[in-house]
Structure formats: structure tokens, C-alpha cells
């Protein structure tokens, strides 16, 4: 008796892919609006377009975004990378400030909080990019809950700061969550 197993070559050479993270519709409150969102094809990234996130001439604005997130069982959320893009005008050395804070809340109400991350702009920039890298080590595998982002924008006299859709790529908040298998 002779048995033959046929295995396509691609299956032997193909790298195993990490399981997809599931994002649900993001929502916001208190000062900005989610103008749209687009999940990456790999399920690991999410782009959120913000509307009405701008300050000028001594204004301060605070905005909160919540993204319902599910990470498959047998995986831990490890690193979160978030990229902000926008525009700032700072004539004569005036300053604008962009601060961010992150909270991860599981369905069982366990929380992981971070400190504020601050970017201070001392000159005009038609397209700034600020990337935050947040390390998150939950105590259990799999994760279902909310990623909550607090964003504060502040302008001094005769300045402006926009995290918005006014310019090419401006206003995108891109979220990329890295996972690692549980052992």
C-alpha cells in the first residue's frame, strides 16, 4: 500500500500571519467628531479622520475617542503605535501644544492607564507627524474592551493647531496594535 500526501509549496514557505484584531466603529465626544475610519487589510491598523479638532488664538480643546477593540484569545496586546498628523502655525516663536493620554478598559472593567504625552511646537509646520508608542502588558490573554484616547490641543496668542482633514493626510490618527502569542 502506498500513500502520497501532496502539500503545495506555498504552504511550506508562507509565513504564519498573526490573527486579526477586530475594531468596531470608533466614536468621540467633548470637542471633536470622528469624520470617518478605515481599518487596514491586515486587521492590525485603523485610520481615524477627525473633524473639528482645531484651536486658535488662546483656545484650548479637549477631545475623547473610544475604539471598541477585540484581540483574539491566546494573544496579548503588547505595543500600541499611534500616529497623529496635522498643521500648526506659530508666528514669531509663539507655541502650540498637543497632549495625548491613553486608557485601555476591558469588558471586566480592568484598566491600564498611561501618563500624558506632550508635543510642544515652537515654529510653524504645514504637516507635522507625531507618533506615540505605548507599551501595554495586560495580565491575561485575549482582550476585549475599549481603547480610549484623550487629546488636548492648546494655542497661545496668534497661533493655531489643527488635527483635522484640512490638508493632505492631516487629521489621520493611525492606530497599530502589536500582539504577541501567549506562552
Exposure string of 140-174, with b = 16+ CB inside 10 Å and e = fewer, is ebebebbbbbbbbbbbbeebbbbbbbeeeebbbbb
**Cβ atoms of residues 46 and 30 within 8 Å:** no
| Residues 6+ away with beta carbon under 8 Å from 152 | 60, 61, 62, 63, 97, 98, 99, 100, 116
CATH code of residue 34: 2.60.120
The 10s digit of each residue's pLDDT in 20-69 is 678 888 888 887 888 888 777 766 777 888 888 889 999 999 999 998 88
Burial class (CB in 10 A: 0-12, 13-18, 19+), 84: buried
pLDDT at 166: 26
Residue ranges of the chain whose pLDDT lies below 70: 1-20, 42-43, 78, 137-139, 164-179, 183
pLDDT at 171: 36
pTM: 0.78
Say if 5 falls within a structural domain: no
Say if 37 falls within a structural domain: yes
Say if 168 falls within a structural domain: yes
**Cβ atoms of residues 171 and 121 within 8 Å:** no
Say if 170 falls within a structural domain: yes
pLDDT at 4: 37
pLDDT at 17: 55
16: which DSSP letter? P
Say if 15 falls within a structural domain: no
The domain containing residue 151 runs over which residues?
Answer: 20-181
Domain count, the chain: 1
Cα separation, 49 vs 11, in Å, equals: 38
Say if 173 falls within a structural domain: yes
Say if 6 falls within a structural domain: no
SS3 179: strand
pLDDT at 12: 39
**Cβ atoms of residues 73 and 141 within 8 Å:** yes
Say if 175 falls within a structural domain: yes
Amino acid at each position: 500500500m502506498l500513500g502520497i500526501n501532496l502539500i503545495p509549496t506555498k504552504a511550506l514557505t508562507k509565513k504564519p500571519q498573526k490573527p486579526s484584531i477586530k475594531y468596531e466603529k470608533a466614536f468621540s465626544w467633548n470637542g471633536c467628531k470622528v469624520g470617518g475610519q478605515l481599518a487596514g487589510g491586515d486587521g492590525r491598523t485603523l485610520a481615524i479622520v477627525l473633524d473639528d479638532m482645531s484651536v486658535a488664538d488662546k483656545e484650548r480643546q479637549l477631545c475623547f475617542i473610544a475604539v471598541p477593540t477585540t484581540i483574539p484569545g491566546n494573544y496579548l496586546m503588547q505595543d500600541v503605535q499611534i500616529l497623529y498628523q496635522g498643521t500648526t502655525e506659530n508666528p514669531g516663536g509663539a507655541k502650540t501644544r498637543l497632549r495625548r493620554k491613553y486608557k485601555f478598559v476591558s469588558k471586566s472593567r480592568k484598566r491600564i492607564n498611561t501618563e500624558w504625552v506632550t508635543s510642544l511646537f515652537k515654529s510653524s509646520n504645514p504637516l507635522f507627524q507625531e507618533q506615540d508608542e505605548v507599551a501595554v502588558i495586560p495580565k491575561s490573554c485575549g482582550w476585549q474592551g475599549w481603547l480610549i484616547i484623550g487629546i488636548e490641543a492648546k494655542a497661545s496668542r496668534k497661533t493655531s493647531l489643527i488635527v483635522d482633514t484640512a490638508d493632505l493626510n492631516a487629521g489621520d490618527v493611525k492606530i497599530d496594535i502589536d500582539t504577541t502569542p501567549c506562552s
